[in-house]
A = this chain, B = another copy of it.
């Protein structure tokens, strides 16, 4: 068994565990930084180790498009390509096909779509996506699934779930590598019965781990929590649970309380490049004029290498002047913040006071207005849907 639960909370479903991989252990609950194109933007592996990240994520969709899995395999695999010798996870590319690629269509084989880069027609099949991920060589891999926009109707969700299940069977049949751990993905949109049914079916397959997908796509936070509350209890306790695409600090602790072990999200690095820092009291914007003359640290209670080294005014200045170092330092802080939050959560669970730890966090935390997030997501989708692929080259 590659996953062991080391401690549990007596009052909630929170637990501390460790997932062993051929590239070392991942202590859970854990946040995994995202290197979409095999690079966590602006940061290098030394820094990712320094913030406490143990496992990185890379996107199969992006890497299959460019530079292609064959080249990465030829170069010695994704670990070597990224200069990272710790655990790696690749997703299936499913989410990106649905969110980035135009003209996508589910066929009998898989999902046909056009590259968002050059418009060339491509096909992802359950078997093909496993082959791509085997070539990349991550420690943890994912099966192709059908992703839905929020909101989806129940019949849509049920149909997507059925296809996802058939694809998982094909993925399992294609997966012959005993070293890579192929997780299952629980879908079911916002329908508790569908989610519960999906979790039960997957649990019966005795997989090495279980992802929960299709959340954090615009649904209210209480809906996300309700989905976890109905899903996680159906999953085996001795396997890791991975909530895909979630990175807001309050969401992490909520999900940990429901027994989730792993998280990934571009939020900390995306926010960092935009000049926002995560703090115990919510987000702050380094471009704010109040930092122009601030000789103290941007986040006074943070002991990361950025907050202890630079005055807030320097970070403000780097963003005002458009220096790449600004986004790098802010991304470093944000990743440190999330990894540190989960380090503290692990300690609190082990010490038997996780509920008090989460309550203390919630007292200080000022959530961003969810309407702002929804509006940002709506605009992003509009931009994506208006994107025209470039003419397809003759082949």
Could you tell me the distance in whole angstroms from the C-beta of A275 to the nearest C-beta in chain B?
15
A321 vs B80: C-alpha distance in the bound complex, in angstroms?
18
**Is B324 a contact partner of A80 (Cβ separation < 8 A)?**
no
Check B42 against A324 for contact (C-beta < 8 Å): yes
By CB atoms of chain B within 10 A, which of A82, A305, A314, A327 has the most?
A314
Whether B324 pairs with A324 at a CB distance below 8 angstroms is yes
A349 to chain B, nearest CB (A): 33
Residues of B within 8 A of A39 (CB): 318, 323, 325
**Is residue A355 within 8 Å, beta carbon to beta carbon, of the partner chain?**
no
User: Are A67 and B317 in touch, CB under 8 angstroms?
Assistant: yes
| Contacts beyond the supplied A76-B295, A76-B311, A324-B328: 18 A-B pairs with Cβ under 8 Å | A38-B317, A39-B318, A41-B325, A42-B324, A43-B325, A44-B328, A67-B313, A67-B317, A67-B320, A71-B292, A71-B313, A75-B311, A75-B313, A75-B314, A80-B311, A81-B311, A324-B327, A328-B328
A308 CB, min distance to chain B CBs, angstroms: 10
Q: Are B37 and A321 in contact (CB under 8 A)?
A: yes
Q: Is the CB of B83 within 8 A of A309?
A: yes
Q: How far is the CB of A74 from chain B (nearest CB, A)?
A: 7
Chain A contact patch, size range = 35 or more
A338 sits at the interface (CB 8 A) = no
Q: How many copies does the complex hold?
A: 2
Q: In the complex where A74-B293, A81-B314 touch, is A309 in contact with B45 (Cβ < 8 A)?
A: yes
| A66 CB within 8 Å of chain B | yes
Chain B residues in 8 Å Cβ range of A83: 309-310, 314
What 1/0 flags go to A66-78 for Cβ under 8 Å of B?
Answer: 1100010011100
**Is A329's CB within 8 Å of the partner chain B?**
yes
From A76, A82, A324, residue with most partner B Cβ within 10 Å: A324
Chain A 145-170 against B: per-residue CB contact (8 Å), 1 yes, 0 no?
00000000000000000000000000
Q: Given A81-B314, A311-B80, A314-B83, is A293 in contact with B325 using a C-beta cutoff of 8 Å?
A: no
Chain B residues, CB < 8 A from A75: 293, 295, 311, 313-314
Chain B positions within 8 Å of A44 at CB level = 325, 328-329
Residues of B within 8 A of A46 (CB): 305
Smallest CB separation, A195 vs chain B (Å):
37
With the chains together, A292 CA to B72 CA distance in Å?
Answer: 10
Collect the chain B residues with CB atoms within 8 Å of residue A329's CB: 44
Chain B residues with CB below 8 A from A41, complex form: 323-325
B74 touches A321 (CB 8 A): no
A317 and B75 CA atoms in complex are apart in Å by: 12
Report the Cα distance A318→B41, complex, angstroms: 10
Q: Which residues of B contact A318 (CB under 8 A)?
A: 39
Write out, one digit per residue, whether chain A residues 9-44 have a CB within 8 A of any chain B CB (1) or not (0).
000000000000000000000000000011101111
A327→B328 CA distance, assembly (Å): 13
